[in-house]
Amino acid sequence: MRSPRDSATLSAHQQIDRLGGCTEPVRLLGQSTTIDTATGEVLRSYTAADEPTGSLLTACGNRRVSRCPACSRVYAADTFQLIRAGLTGGKNVPDTVRTHPRVFTTLTAPSFGPIHNRPTDAGGALRPCRCGKLHEPADALLGTPLDPKTYDYPGAVLFNAHAGALWARFTIYLRREIAAFGTDAELTDHAVAAYVAKYATKSADSSGALDRALFCRPCQGRGMTLAAHGTPLTCTACGGTGQARPLPRLAVERHVRQMIRTCWELGKRPEFADLKLWKWAHMLGFRGHFSTKSRCYSVTLGALRDDRRAWRTEQARAHAGLPDLDPSTTLVIGHWAYHGSGYSPGAELLAAAVRHRKELERQFTAESGPS
Ligand SMILES: [Zn+2]
Ligand SMILES: [Zn+2]
Ligand SMILES: [Zn+2]
């Protein structure tokens, strides 16, 4: 009989390598057992405690560059594949989608007051901003108000907070109207997919929004907690501000701070209670998803993740020299619990080396031209 202990434990280096340089992996404790459904024999057993790091590490999967560059790149690449498959087929989407009519539309939010920008003349040459400067493309002033005192901050926050609902309404009407749109032969499928995928990770970070919620969790941003007899007490965690981190101390641009402050002020008004502006202040009021797609457009992100997981599992199985078990005659029973996040100091050194190597590989791929 096969020993129940013949697990596919990887070396610490292999385990970290498999995470692809993830910044803050999730540590899991638990075990899984593979059983032959006909005989009840334990074919394989895996215990996370046997791992050299003492737990099973899985990538965090965060979509934000500022939280995890490695995982956000995987998300952007998946988004690219999803959009490309919807335009040209592949990944179980038939090639005939190429013949479907398509529209590439850019929508612009309403203005809430003049902002610093990089205007161009009819010939495409750069003109000075209204402030008189020729802004560099990376200038932090770009997109921020020329005069913060007259800028419509409540309007901007409320637009963000309603963007999800506006978008849902827009897509309903768009489907009714779309038949009359023309085609733009200049845009290639690759260019469209690359353009959208680029914003899959850039949009939230480059707006200056923060990657963590700002409200105080013990009091849910109210600044007050209720004692046993319903007596309101000042929250001891935040000192009554409702903020987990004091707004004046946030390392953000002045414009972003004012957007956050406006979220806080509007969040106190009962008519805006359902917008949960405290909870979404770090997103400047926006609480929607980055992307929406109809069910039949293309492959799903979930299907791409499942394919990747299956491929990695197969690689690990082959690497460990374990037999290929028939899923129709075996049963996998697992018990898993969250143990923590991040690396131990030793593992962090290994992870840094993996990140460095991945970055070099990425630069090399980028320099050798489009794939
Ligand atoms: Zn990660
Ligand atoms: Zn300017
Ligand atoms: Zn509090």
179 within domain boundaries: no
Is 272 part of a structural domain of the chain? no
What band does 5 get if pLDDT is binned at 50, 70 and 90?
very low
**Average pLDDT for residues 287-309, to the nearest whole number?**
82
Residue 178 confidence (pLDDT): 64
- Smallest-distance ligand from the CA of 128: 2
Distance CA 2, CA 8 (A): 14
pLDDT at res. 1: 38
State mean pLDDT over 159-170: 90
Structure tokens at 231: 């007596």
| pLDDT higher than 90, residue 235 | yes
**Helix or strand (DSSP H, E) at 33:** strand 26-36
Task: Report the number of distinct structural domains present in the chain.
Answer: 1
Domain membership of residue 342 (yes or no) is yes
CA 27 – ligand 1 centroid, Å: 12
pTM: 0.71
Ligand 2 centroid to Cα of residue 140, in Å, is 10
263-273 pLDDT, tens digit per residue, is 999 999 999 99
**In this predicted structure, which of 77-86, 196-205, 223-232, 249-258 has the lowest mean pLDDT?**
196-205
Mark out the alpha helices in 321-370 (DSSP H runs).
345-367
Q: With a cut of 80, say whether residue 220 has pLDDT above it.
A: yes
Q: How far is the CA of 143 from the centre of ligand 2 (A)?
A: 9
The pLDDT of residue 203: 56
Q: What is the pLDDT of residues 151-163, one digit of tens each?
A: 999 999 999 999 9
3-class state of residue 42 by DSSP: strand
Greater pLDDT, 83 or 318: 83
Residue 169 in any domain: the answer is no
Task: Classify each residue of 145-159 as buried b or exposed e, where b means 16 or more C-beta atoms within 10 Å of its C-beta.
Answer: beeeeebebbebbbb
pLDDT-derived band at 196 (thresholds 50, 70, 90) equals confident
Expressed in angstroms and rounded, the spacing between residue 207 Cα and the centre of ligand 2 is 17
- Answer whether residue 271 is part of any domain: no
> Could you tell me the CA-to-CA distances from 314 to 309, 319, 320, 321 in Å, in that order?
9, 8, 10, 11
Whole domain around residue 38: which residue ranges? 12-64+301-367
pLDDT the model gives residue 297: 82
Taking only the tens place, the pLDDT of each residue in 358-368 is 888 878 877 76
Tell me the pLDDT of the chain averaged across its residues: 83
**Cβ partners under 8 Å of residue 111, min gap 6:** none
Q: Give me the pLDDT at residue 202, please.
A: 64
Cα–chain-centroid distance for residue 133? 35
According to the model, what pLDDT value does residue 185 have?
52
pLDDT at 265: 93
Distance of CA 292 from the midpoint of ligand 1 (Å): 23
Q: Of the ligands numbered here, which is closest to the C-alpha atom of 136?
A: 2
pLDDT of residue 2: 39
Here the tokens at position 310 are: 């299956």
Q: What is the pLDDT of residue 180?
A: 53
Give me the half-sphere count of Cα atoms (radius 13 Å) on the Cβ side of residue 370.
3
For residue 208, report the distance from its CA to the centre of ligand 2, in Å. Answer: 18
**What percentage of the chain reaches a pLDDT higher than 90?**
22
pLDDT in tens, 323-359: 777 778 888 888 888 888 888 877 888 888 888 888 8
Per-residue pLDDT averaged across 65-81, rounded?
86
> Which range has the top average pLDDT, 11-15, 53-57, 189-193?
53-57
Among 126-130, 289-293, 330-334, 339-343, where is mean pLDDT lowest? 289-293
Q: pLDDT by residue (tens digit) across 25-55? A: 998 888 888 888 888 888 888 888 887 777 8
Q: What pLDDT does residue 10 have? A: 63
Radius of gyration (Cα) for the chain, nearest Å? 26
Q: Which of 133-142, 198-207, 340-349 has the lowest mean pLDDT?
A: 198-207
Counting beta carbons within 10 angstroms of the beta carbon of residue 208, is it exposed (0 to 12), middle (13 to 18) or buried (19 or more)?
middle
129 CA distance to ligand 2 middle (Å): 5
Does 33 reside within a domain? Answer: yes
What's the CA-to-centroid distance between 21 and ligand 1, angstroms? 7
pLDDT of residue 3: 38
Tell me if 52 is assigned to some domain. Answer: yes
Q: Is residue 232 part of a domain?
A: no
Tell me what pLDDT residue 249 has. Answer: 85
Distance 133 CA to ligand 2 centre (A): 5
